[in-house]
Chain A
Amino acid sequence: MEENTLDLLSSLPDEILGRIISFLPSESALQTSFLSTRWASLWNTVLVQHGTTEAAVTAISEFLTHFDELNPLRQPRRLQYHFGKGSANILLATIAANNKLHMELSTGKQEFQKQFDWQLGLNHQSLTDQPSSSSFFVKTLFLKSVGFQSKEAVSSIVSNFQFLESLKIIECNGLQTLEIDSSPRLKSLTIFDCPQLKSLFIRSLKLRSFRYRGLLPRLLTENHFNLKDAMLDFRQGPCDNSFGSNDFDPSLLTIKNAEILTLCKWTFEKLIWPSISYLHGNFQFYRLKELWWIDNSSEGYNSDALISFLKLCPALEQLFVTVDTKSYSMPITTTYSKKVARHSKLEHLKVVKLVGFTNEEDELLLAVHLTKLAVKELLIIATADGICLRSLVKVHLYQPKLNQTHVKYTHNYKFVEENGDINELCVNHAHMGL
């Protein structure tokens, strides 16, 4: 028997491969996209429909209702719904495992998106009060590129998702103000890259995870909630310079008990420190374990802000510092009290990763300073490009240092190139790479 080494499977026509994939459970179906370039989009068979803007809600409901995980010859996982003037608007809805729904809007032409305000209500009973007969409940929803033409349709569709636990809104050009009114079921909210967003009003009761990337908008919250996971990537700077630390206070209280946090240096300097500096370190981030600090690069790296913040984090285990040359930086320099706070040692700090430092001297100084602050044996990794990793090692010198005057710490440390087990060293903060 001749051994078969030909790839006969991939040479089958698309419809047949699609049929084979339809017999696979969602996760396996998705994995087929990695087999080879031929298989890239086969998992996503598309159902194309045309209709009116008003009928979009019904179309999506039916699409979701007909989706049956258990039926091997189930409906396509993707719906491409054309609506609006000249069918120019396209809503692409894709279903994935674990009750996820991805909705992406496009308007065909690259038009300038008109600015709009959006009130997204997830708390309201459907007016017709029909109990949903769908066996598919959307738990995780991704909304991409919603514009002023599509927001009404999307709002109507989304208001039916009573079981929504996680909402992610990305790349909505033209979105100016966003108000989210949600049920206690909503636990996670993510908003990325909405360039015109000026104001964000969150009316949620039990939010546990909040992730934001973009210009800092005016943040308003109606209720207090305790975030476990907060990503405040405001490295692009504030939208409104008059937004001050008093305005930020309610938000500060929501992140006080966070375990995982991403924070920009300028945010700390401008919006947090002024509110808490008078407390002399009594305002603590008691639960913070994992911190990603985004620093701006200015001439001569100044670690005062970082160190002051670290003194407020007694439980910190992992620290990631990224120097982003494009990050917004505060024009004023703040002075920090040199008074030692109650908890000045970091008893639980185990790992530090420094990314993007352009000056090796600054990098080394900070690394050594952190080593002094820690109690345990620290693993410090540095990288400029994310690929070459260096780790900090102690160097034993047999000669005394000649010139002691300008050196604050004896330089018996240096960074060596790490050629060993990269996997062990490839730690990343939970918010990196999103």
Chain B
Amino acid sequence: MASSSTSVVVSNKEKENKNTKKVTLKSSDGESFEVDESVAMESQTIKHIIEDGCANNEIPLPNVTSGILSRVIEYCKKHKEAAGESEPSVTSYTSNSTTNPLTEWDTEFVKVDQNTLFDLILAANYLDIKGLLDLTCKTVADMMKGKTPQEIRETFHIKNDYTPEEEAEVRKENQWAFE
């Protein structure tokens, strides 16, 4: 607001001119999203497309719907900001969560229904965004932890198609690991 801060903003922009380059991502249902190139490059898939020069500034993503794509972009933006560098951020889930300020945000981010969660997993896999893939997979794992197989089946509507003989066979094969 004050004139001094405006000048600061301007000079920053001059320094990081190359980062204002934008790309357009097009979802499967035809919606276009304009994002900073650096944010888009959180996705290794998109990064390779851009680096190979095949971008033409509009990248079609036929495997991702607009709803999911907007969330993915939100994730990438947030993580890029937090990293504060021009390199793609590396989110490590081995670090202690209390030292990682993004953890709370991430936890809120994955509070979605199963449909959306699995779509996010598939999108993160397709777009090759390691941090998002680990976050979503770990979320599913946390939903499974500490539950019996029957409880897990109920949570995810998995049908038990084992015959009693097959189940006994699996139990026998893996018996050594249970002992």
Contacts and interface: CB of A to CB of B under 8 A. Distances in A.
Interface in A34-64: 34-37, 39-40
A34 B159 contact: no
Contacts, number: 102
Contacts of B179: 100, 140
B110 interface: no
Contacts of B118: 8-9, 12
Contacts of A39: 158
Q: Which bracket fits the contact residues of A?
A: 35 or more
B137 A34 contact: no
Given A4-B113, A36-B160, A24 B144 contact: yes
B176 A102 contact: yes
Interface string A71-87: 11100000000000000
Contact of A34 (B93, B133, B170): B170
Nearest to B113: A4
A24 B177 contact: no
Interface in B23-41: none
Interface stretch (A14-22, A353-361, A374-382): A14-22
Contact of B162 (A23, A37, A102): A37
Contact of B158 (A7, A20, A33, A94): A7
Nearest to A40: B170
B159 A23 contact: no
A72 B134 CA distance: 10
Interface in B105-149: 113-115, 118, 121-122, 125, 133-134, 137-138, 140-142, 144-146, 148-149
Nearest to B124: A16
A140 B149 CA distance: 26
A35 B160 CA distance: 6
A34 B146 contact: no
A5 B122 CA distance: 19
B111 to A, nearest CB: 15
B162, B171, B177: residue with the most chain A Cβ atoms closer than 10 Å: B177
Given A9-B118, A20-B137, A21-B141, A33 B174 contact: yes
A222 to B, nearest CB: 28
B94, B134, B137, B167: residue with the most chain A Cβ atoms closer than 10 Å: B137
Given A4-B113, A37-B166, A100-B177, A20 B140 contact: yes
Nearest to A13: B125
A8, A10, A13, A72: residue with the most chain B Cβ atoms closer than 10 Å: A8
Interface string B51-87: 0000000000000000000000000000000000000
B176 A100 contact: yes
B177 A30 contact: yes
A168 interface: yes
B161 A36 contact: yes
A32 interface: yes
Contacts of A100: 176-177, 179
Contacts of A20: 137, 140-141, 144
A97 B149 contact: no
A34 B121 CA distance: 23
A40 B170 CA distance: 7
Given A4-B113, A8-B115, A100-B177, A32 B144 contact: yes
B49 interface: no
19 contacts: A4-B113, A8-B115, A9-B140, A9-B156, A16-B122, A19-B134, A20-B140, A20-B141, A24-B145, A30-B177, A31-B149, A32-B144, A34-B149, A34-B167, A35-B153, A36-B159, A36-B161, A71-B94, A73-B134
Given A34-B162, A96-B176, 10 more contacts: A7-B157, A8-B114, A9-B118, A9-B158, A24-B141, A28-B144, A34-B170, A35-B153, A37-B162, A73-B93
Interface of A: 1, 4-10, 12-13, 15-16, 19-21, 23-25, 28, 30-37, 39-40, 71-73, 94, 96-97, 100, 102, 140, 142, 168
Interface of B: 93-94, 113-115, 118, 121-122, 125, 133-134, 137-138, 140-142, 144-146, 148-149, 152-153, 156-162, 166-167, 170-171, 174, 176-179
